[in-house]
Structure 1
Amino acid sequence: MTDVVRLDAVSKVYGKGQGAVAALREVSVGIPRGSFTAVMGPSGSGKSTFLHCAAGLDVPSSGSVRLGGTELSGMDETALTELRRRRVGFVFQAFNLIPALTVEENITLPLRLAGTRADRAWLDEVVSRVGLRGRTGHRPAQLSGGQQQRVAIARALVTRPEVVFGDEPTGALDTMTARDVLTLLREIVDGTGQTVVMVTHDPVAASYADAVLFLADGRIVDSMAAPTSEKVAERMTRLGAWV
């Protein structure tokens, strides 16, 4: 498998001089195309900074980030915005749906912002895959939290992105609903070859992934293939100062 995202020696420092804080330190890693990767670590380990740099939401202080064959460093904000809109999907803890729009209008919003039309067949497939058939005319307020997150996932998929980044996508959901959403993400990876990178603090959520990257103090300190919630939880107790 080729890497859809590649970070080489990526560092991110916030602030200057005495107040400078290194959120990422010389991180090098590749995310294989068609894989489901979870990113874990204690609070302050650099998980969100890792996701933001990998997704082109933030610019590294040094190092290289590539999406497919495209080097992101040196791109201005306009070019990065265009790249994110066309080639990257996002799912956050907050659903970020627009209350006045229907489910279908929320899903197709990235296409309208990009000035392109929805491929009806692909839109229908996405709606079907996320379990929202018969709901496309509803407003977000008429949906449960789990259904709203399904809308957000469909919105992330509708542009056929090269990678979908999730930042605690199940953080606002109850346990049963979270498992439904994680099962959906797993099925999307297996069924469409989509690449998903998910930041989470939950070992159960991480167990749905193909691999887990463990961050501590801004560095990748370990990885785990074929994770189970028990193995992930045990590894999480030995991160940071206890590595």
Structure 2
Amino acid sequence: MTAPAVRLDAVTKVYGSGENRVTALQEVGVDLATGTFTAVMGPSGSGKSTFLHCAAGLDRPTSGSVRLGDTELSSLSDNELTVVRRDRIGFVFQAYNLLSSLTVEDNVSLPLRLAGREIDRDWIARVAGSVGLGEHLRRRPAQLSGGQQQRVAIARALVTQPDAVFADEPTGALDTRTGRQVLELLRRIVDDSGQTVIMVTHDPVAASFADRVLFLADGRLTGVMEAPTAELVADRMTKLGAW
């Protein structure tokens, strides 16, 4: 059996102590299979962002374990974890987080530069082309639309050929039409390239692009929906008290 791309085993995350103690995740366990698209949903304060940060190695769980492939993230030193995040994890933010002074080409290649790896311009062009930016390599973020900027962020997340791509509300700053194009792109990355994508979203339509949806409430995993539709997801979210 192939190991899942990401595995969370009894992950609990507590912030603060004493009266200020907040349990953001409680005993969450799930396998995220390689080559699948998973959406994570839940009401505000349900633990979605904490889930994403723990799964991506951006935050350490208080207890439990997180594995990226065969690598146990919880046992790594800070330096080792930094290397894993840089080389094996892609992250797409709602706010793009592009460097305004750099061209599209330089923004996409930034993870490789930070890792001290050789820059293969043909590879950068291929990755940019795969997200529809092949003709914009010399432009800067200010010369691009919001949807194009998010495509740059996705290309940057893909350039290291990571084990998994984590997306935090990737369509939250986009209009409906542009957001749909970004979701179709993420779907295609999974279907055509076998990439693993884990996306936090509050939008049932966005979640319907995924293979399955994980539902969180009060820091606990409360359910999983396979082959989701926007209508079924919205109905489930209503039952979670989201709206």
Query: Which TM-score applies when normalising by structure 2?
Result: 0.97
Work out whether residues 38 and 197 of structure 1, in 8 Å CA contact, stay in contact via their aligned partners in 2. yes
Residue 53 (structure 1) aligns with: 54
C-alpha distance 100-220 of structure 1, shift in aligned 2 (>3 A): same
Residue identity opposite 2:232 in structure 1: K
Percent identity (aligned): 69
Residue 22 (structure 2) aligns with: 21
> Is 2:177 aligned against 1:176?
yes
Structure 1, unmatched stretches of 5+, are none
Residue identity opposite 2:65 in structure 1: S
Trace 1:21-170 onto structure 2 (pairs within 5 A). Answer: 21-170=22-171
SS at match of 1:108: helix
Residue 3 (structure 1) aligns with: 4
Residue 196 (structure 2) aligns with: 195
Shift in Å, 1:133: 1.2
C-alpha distance 31-228 of structure 1, shift in aligned 2 (>3 A): same
Give the distance between the partners of 1:26 and 1:117, measured in 2 at CA.
41
1:38-83, CA deviations, whole angstroms, 9 ceiling, x for partnerless residues?
Answer: 0000000000000000000000000010001000112122111111
Residue identity opposite 1:221 in structure 2: T
Shift in Å, 1:168: 0.3
Give the distance between the partners of 2:140 and 2:18, measured in 1 at CA.
49
* Structure 1 vs Structure 2 CA RMSD: 1.3
C-alpha distance 241-150 of structure 1, shift in aligned 2 (>3 A): closer
Residue identity opposite 2:25 in structure 1: L
Give the distance between the partners of 2:61 and 2:224, measured in 1 at CA.
22
Give the distance between the partners of 1:125 and 1:223, measured in 2 at CA.
35
Query: Which TM-score applies when normalising by structure 1?
Result: 0.97
Shift in Å, 1:111: 0.3
- Point out the more displaced range, 1-10 or 37-46: 1-10
Shift in Å, 1:195: 0.2
Residue identity opposite 2:198 in structure 1: V
Shift in Å, 1:123: 2.2
Residue identity opposite 1:57 in structure 2: L
Give the distance between the partners of 2:119 and 2:46, measured in 1 at CA.
39
Residue identity opposite 1:9 in structure 2: A
Structure 2, unmatched stretches of 5+, are none
SS at match of 2:231: helix
Give the distance between the partners of 2:25 and 2:219, measured in 1 at CA.
4
SS at match of 1:89: strand
Residue 211 (structure 2) aligns with: 210
